[in-house]
Each structure stands twice: as C-alpha cells, then as structure tokens.
Amino acid sequence: MGRHREFDVDKALDAALCVFWRKGYEGASYADLTEATGVERPALYSAFGNKEELFSRALDRYYERHLNYVPDALQKSTSKEVAAHMLYSAIDLNTRYEGHTGCLNLNGLLAGSDAAESVRQRLIDVRADGEAQFRERFERAKAEGDLPASAKPDALAAYLMAVLHGMAVQAKAGFSRGTLEAVAEQALSTWPASDAAISARSSQS
Amino acid sequence: MGRHREFDVDKALDAALCVFWRKGYEGASYADLTEATGVERPALYSAFGNKEELFSRALDRYYERHLNYVPDALQKSTSKEVAAHMLYSAIDLNTRYEGHTGCLNLNGLLAGSDAAESVRQRLIDVRADGEAQFRERFERAKAEGDLPASAKPDALAAYLMAVLHGMAVQAKAGFSRGTLEAVAEQALSTWPASDAAISARSSQS
DNA sequence: GCGGTTTAATAACGGTCGTTATGAAAAGCA
DNA sequence: TGCTTTTCATAACGACCGTTATTAAACCGC
C-alpha cells in the first residue's frame, strides 16, 4: 500500500547520467539534477540515496548502456581488431551526444561547476595553443621533407596530443569526429617516415 | 612608504601552483591555499586578485617553469624526435612529484575536492578494471599466438587505454613511470604483429 | 469513509565556498 | 614623535552546497 511513485526511476536516472556526464560528479549540483530529472531533491534521495550513490548508479548504467561495446571488442579474434573496435566505438560514443561529449568516467574527473567555465575554456585554449605549435612544427617538417607529402600535420599533432592528454579529453574540448578518427588511425599505425627514408627502403628491397 | 610585504610572492605562487596541480581549480579551496602558502586569504587577494586570477598566474608559471621543454622539443631536427622528446619529458614531469602527479592543465579539469575522494577512487578502480580486461585479453591473444612472444600484454593494454584516456590521466591515477615509458614506446611504434606474420615477412625477404 | 503507509513539495538545516569589511601593526617621511 | 600609507590577521558576509525535518497529498486494505 501507500502512495505510488509519480516519476519514472529509469528516466530520472538517465537524466542524472547526462548531467554527470556533462558536469562531472562535483560539478553536478542537486539544482542541476532536479532541473534535468524534473524530480525534487527529497524524491531523488528516497529513490537513489545520497549523491554518491546516485552517481554510482549512473556509472553502472553508463557501463551497461553506453560502454556495452567493450564485450564485443573483447570477442574479436585478434588483438588489433580489439583495439580498432574499441577506438572507433569510443570515438562514436565520445562525439554522439553534443551535450555531453567525452567519457562519463573521465568527465567525472574532469568537469567542474558552471562557475569555472571560463577557467576550463582557458585551459582548453592553452591546450589548443600547444597543439597548434606542434601542428605548425609538423607543417614545417612537411615543408622540409622530414615528413612525406602524404602526411597530415594536423592529424599528427592531434595524435601526439592524444597520447599526452587522451582522446576523451579532446572530445570534451569539442574536437570533431574526423579529428578523432584520424588520431585512431595514427594510433594503429606507425609514425610516418620521411620520403627519403621511404625511397631508400624501397630501393633496398 | 607603507608597510612592507612579509611573504615571498614567488614562493606563495609556487605553493599555490602545487595545490592547483594536485586538486584542480575548483578542488583547491582557500583553506588549502592558505595552508600551503602560509599566507592568509586577504593577503592572497591583495597580491594576486581573486581565485581565477591566482590560478591564471599559476598556470602561466607552470608553462614557464615546468613545460619549458616544449621549445626544446620543437627545435629537434625531425618530427619523430620532437614527439619522443615530448613524450619522455612529459613522463618525467608527470611522475616527478609524488604529491601532484599528472599535468596541471589536465588536473585542473580532473580533480575535485577531498570530499569526492572516494568517488574519484571508484572511477580509478573502474578504469583499472577496464584495463585489466584488455590486459587479460592480450594475455590470451599472446597465448593463442595472435601476439608474438616478445609482446608485453600489460604494456599493450596500457597503450590502448592511454589512447583512450591519455597518459596524464594515468599518471594522476598513480601509474608507475615504467608503465608510462612503455606506453610511450608503443606510441612511437606500431602494433605488434603475430609471430606467424613475422616469420612470413622474414621468409619473404 | 477511515487508518496506515508511502510519496510529494516546501522550506530549512549546518557547513563551506569565494570574497571582503574592519581594525591593529609596521614602515617611510615630515 | 606624529601622519600617512600599506599590509596584516580576525572575523564576518551572502550564496550555495548536500542533506533532511515537516507537512500535505495520494494510495491501499478494511
């Protein structure tokens, strides 16, 4: 007996998941959660427990619903296929939703409240500056023949930064799907050799 | 005229830098900053302005003092040397200080307050679980001959996750220097081929 | 319809956040 | 020594944080 619950627990959890995905754990306030879920705070507490438990539930659901390609990847017949499946699935996940890019797991360690938006933007800008330096450096290397003509300096710069910072961080910073795909290709291949080295190698065989 | 400043502005900024490095922007409170710097709040405000300006000053100093290997890397003669210099310098920076691992830039997007420590640990654990799955999968691939006997499954798993999450995130999660170095090696090479493919290639030449 | 039980919404709790008013202490100049 | 100026430490500010008492409303079995 007793009064019936008036909201859909699963839908509320999905809405909370999106909030955590976008703002991280600390960055997501109950004001955000009540607005996104349409459920008042005490109802969230009675349904999910405290904030940490709610986040834990959202994290579990994230792995069940959005990271469900991991088992598929693990079942591929070769390790390289496993890696490729993971990389391209992650790109898809990280860029599918415009509102919450990146990975919930990492964004929980990444994002802050709205009050820190300008700071985050500043960090993103500084990061982009660093990448631009490498892109320019690789453009120069390409002009000097250090890199083959087929080399994509922006993709190389993105790859190097991806190894430094991670693809999920790049997705959070608003990178395009195409850029992430280029990073994945580089991650699965080797660093390009110069045209001179290539011609030397082909003349050797 | 007027009273003289009783604390060293540079030392206070260095102390604040370490706090931001470890806890991120939002995660670093003025209670933390006053404790680390030994300077009371009003003095920090008069010397640096508000929190955002103090962080901006710390970020500038971080780039000047700790990321000063970037220009050196950019001056290397080949792009691969540039990448290698960056990768190994970053490993050194990310693991040099036990108190503030990783990268200040990323940790500003990563860390939260102490109250969220258990949540962060939870995320770290989940991340480690994901990596363990790939390590196990690569161990199986090694046993099946999909990977050569010289392959290091834990290094391969770390590499794949590094492409997904980034080296700085791994450093923040407490990874060893050796693991990061292995990731850098992988990032500079290609994915290992199976022993069968290697013998086929060598018999071809 | 009534009692017992569960949920709903309002409002408030103590605590901490970043920030600042306030008055005492120290320094240079007259 | 006084006067002015700057810095110092104490303490408080309003706002928001996560959390919860409190009270009204909705449901079930009788």
pLDDT tens string A119-157: 445 555 555 554 565 567 667 667 877 667 876 666 555
Higher pLDDT, B83 or A22: A22
Residue B91's pLDDT is 76
Answer yes or no: are the C-beta atoms of B78 and B86 closer than 8 Å.
no
Return the top range by mean pLDDT from A15-29, A136-150, A189-203.
A15-29
Q: Do B164 and A168 touch (CB under 8 A)?
A: yes
| Percent share of chain A, pLDDT over 90 | 17
Distance from CA of B19 to the nearest CA of A (A): 16
State the pLDDT confidence band at B58, using cuts at 50, 70 and 90.
Answer: confident
Name the burial class of residue B67, with classes exposed (0-12), middle (13-18) and buried (19+) by CB atoms within 10 angstroms of its CB.
middle
Q: Which two tokens stand for residue A37?
A: 């879920």
Task: Count chain A–chain B contacts defined by CB atoms under 8 A.
Answer: 176
Inform me whether the pLDDT recorded for B42 exceeds 90.
Answer: yes
Higher pLDDT, A196 or B1: B1
State the pLDDT confidence band at A80, using cuts at 50, 70 and 90.
Answer: low
Higher pLDDT, A80 or B135: B135
Residue A191's pLDDT is 47
SS3 track for A22-38? HHHHHHCCHHHHHHHHC
* Dist. CA B164–CA B162, nearest whole Å: 5
Q: If you average pLDDT over residues A24-45, what whole number do you get? A: 91
The separation between the first and the last C-alpha atoms of chain B, rounded to the nearest angstrom, is 83
Answer yes or no: are the C-beta atoms of A44 and A34 closer than 8 Å.
yes
Q: If you average pLDDT over residues B30-42, what whole number do you get? A: 94
Higher pLDDT, A87 or A184: A87
CA of A113 to C1' of D25 (A): 35
Nearest to A161 by CA among A175, A148, A177: A175
* Dist. CA A199–CA A102, nearest whole Å: 40
Q: If you average pLDDT over residues B7-20, what whole number do you get? A: 93
* Dist. CA B125–CA B135, nearest whole Å: 15
Which fold does the domain A7-65 belong to in CATH?
Arc Repressor Mutant, subunit A (1.10.10)
Answer yes or no: are the C-beta atoms of B58 and B13 closer than 8 Å.
yes
Higher pLDDT, A1 or B58: B58
Q: If you average pLDDT over residues B52-69, what whole number do you get? A: 85
**In this structure, is the dihedral angle defined by the CA atoms of residues A132, A133, A138 and A144, taken in order, positive or negative?**
positive
A172 interfaces chain B, CB cutoff of 8 Å: yes
Nearest to A106 by CA among A51, A56, A168: A168
Q: Is A163 helix (H, G, I), strand (E, B) or coil?
A: helix
Which residue spans of chain A are classified as CATH 1.10.10.60? 7-65
Q: If you average pLDDT over residues A32-60, what whole number do you get? A: 91
Higher pLDDT, B142 or B159: B142
Strand D lies under 7 A from the Cβ of residue A60? no
Interface test with A, best of B164, B167, B191 (most A CBs within 10 A): B164
Inform me whether the pLDDT recorded for A176 exceeds 70.
Answer: no
Q: Do A168 and B172 touch (CB under 8 A)?
A: no
Tell me the H-state helices in B98-116.
Answer: 104-110
Strand C lies under 7 A from the Cβ of residue B30? yes
Strand C lies under 7 A from the Cβ of residue B29? yes
Which residues 131-170 in chain B show a CB within 8 A of chain A? 133-134, 137-138, 141, 146-147, 156, 160, 162-169
Q: Which two tokens stand for residue B165?
A: 């999450």
Interface test with B, best of A66, A164, A165, A202 (most B CBs within 10 A): A164
Q: Is B65 helix (H, G, I), strand (E, B) or coil?
A: helix
- Residue A64 CA neighbour count, 13 Å, CB half: 9
- In strand D, which positions have an atom below 7 A from any protein CB? 4-12, 16-22, 25-29
Inform me whether the pLDDT recorded for B30 exceeds 90.
Answer: yes
**Which amino acid does the sequence have at A93?**
L
Strand C lies under 7 A from the Cβ of residue B16? no
Inform me whether the pLDDT recorded for B64 exceeds 70.
Answer: yes
**Which amino acid does the sequence have at A42?**
P
State the pLDDT confidence band at A88, using cuts at 50, 70 and 90.
Answer: confident
Strand D lies under 7 A from the Cβ of residue A115? no
Answer yes or no: are the C-beta atoms of B57 and B33 closer than 8 Å.
no
* Dist. CA B20–CA B28, nearest whole Å: 6
**Nearest Cα residue in chain A from B63:** A126
Higher pLDDT, A3 or A30: A30
CA of B41 to C1' of D13 (A): 14
Distance from CA of B31 to the nearest CA of A (A): 18
Residue A113's pLDDT is 42
The separation between the first and the last C-alpha atoms of chain A, rounded to the nearest angstrom, is 82
Structural Rg of chain A based on CA atoms? 22
Residue A205's pLDDT is 45
Residue A24's pLDDT is 77
Answer yes or no: are the C-beta atoms of B19 and B113 closer than 8 Å.
no
Inform me whether the pLDDT recorded for B45 exceeds 90.
Answer: yes
Nearest to A169 by CA among A121, A117, A101: A101
Inform me whether the pLDDT recorded for B194 exceeds 70.
Answer: no
Answer yes or no: are the C-beta atoms of B18 and B96 closer than 8 Å.
no
Q: Do B59 and A122 touch (CB under 8 A)?
A: yes
Higher pLDDT, A22 or B130: A22
Label residues B48-60 b or e (16+ Cβ within 10 Å = b): beebeebbbbbbe
- In strand C, which positions have an atom below 7 A from any protein CB? 3-11, 16-22, 25-29
Nearest to B67 by CA among A165, A110, A1, A81: A165
Helix (H) or strand (E) segment spanning residue B163? helix B153-165
